[in-house]
Amino acid sequence: MKDANNNQSLTAFSNSLVQATQAANASIVTVHARRRMPSTGVVIEAGLVLTASHTVREEADIQVTLADGTTLGAELLGRDPNSDLAVLKLVDAVGTPAEVNEQPQVGQVALALGRPGSNVEASLGILSAIGGPLRTHGGGLIESYLRTDATAYPGFSGGPLVDADGRVLGINTSGLGWGSLLAIPAKQAWKIAKSIQQHGGIKRGYLGVRSQWVEVPGEQASGLLVAGIEPESPAAAAGLMVGDIIIGFAGQPVRDHDDLMVQLNSGVVGTPTALKYLRGGKPQGAQVTLSERAEAPHRGRPGWGRHGRGGKRPFGRRPFGRHGMHHIAWGRRMRGWGRR
């Protein structure tokens, strides 16, 4: 009797996974944008597809195959190499948008889905970690990530990580490194997609300081010592001085360079934003209006490197810890000072 109950429970669980896959199926597409194997994409609204940037290598002749087998031409609206996301616009406003779950939980069952061929494929796992920020192998910084123990089969990049109801938890990618399947959380991925749709990329903020991680007294324990200020920069306009210690930005604590980078990339360009710092050991505050960091549009073929053909390449492949330096334009990191 016990074995029969166990078999019924296992069957019910198996059927729930089938139903989750079927629920997500209509929004999963095949992306033909590289010479080897196609990759996967997710319809985020009629006529728009979100996929993995590193798989979009041919920009002149992109084809997208919908769940019903219809193949359409598409153009690249833009990409964000830092998060390995790209947005494609179909020639027709068609496709079934995915449903989204913006509240992932560690331990929940998760399915990595892909459509590298004519049929959807699935890999079962659990959501093993929610973390961030994370420094990628290419030198970029992502605000948050999901990690799963599901297997990343060839062509799965750009596909969804879904919950037991078939709702998208995140967009899978194997292009960020670290040897495991990572996903950009759906809330963050949709926000990035909206920015790409509106601006062709992500507006990343420029503050205009060189800074060094230091210890500070109190609960926060650390901040960023201002070692230099660029003339006519937002930092200079806000009255920041060499020797100040930045401890907060946009209402969030700044304990190290990664904390600050996350806030500079959070969509606050052009908006007066609260800056907290210590001067002579006393807390001070100011309003700073970030300008946009001068980054060349990513128009090249990403097969030639993280910044496209002919683009600048990062100094190193691995992060060096919270004491490292950040270049003001690309967020590169070296031992020593940081510029933002």
Picking from 314, 310, 313, 238, the residue whose alpha carbon sits closest to that of residue 276 is 238
- Residues in CB range of 13: below 8 A, 6 or more apart: none
The catalytically annotated residue of 27, 39, 53, 54 is 54
Residue 333 is inside which H or E element, if any?
Answer: strand 333-335
The catalytically annotated residue of 39, 83, 123, 157 is 157
Picking from 182, 180, 39, 20, the residue whose alpha carbon sits closest to that of residue 111 is 20
The catalytically annotated residue of 53, 80, 84, 244 is 84
Active site residue 39: no
Active site residue 211: no
Q: Specify the length of the chain in residues.
A: 340
Picking from 189, 195, 187, the residue whose alpha carbon sits closest to that of residue 269 is 195
> What does 92-161 look like in DSSP terms, one character per residue?
SS---PPPB-----TT-EEEEEE-SSSS-EEEEEEEEEEE--EE-TTS-EES-EEEE-S---TT-TTPEE
Active site residue 61: no
Known catalytic residues are 54, 84, 157
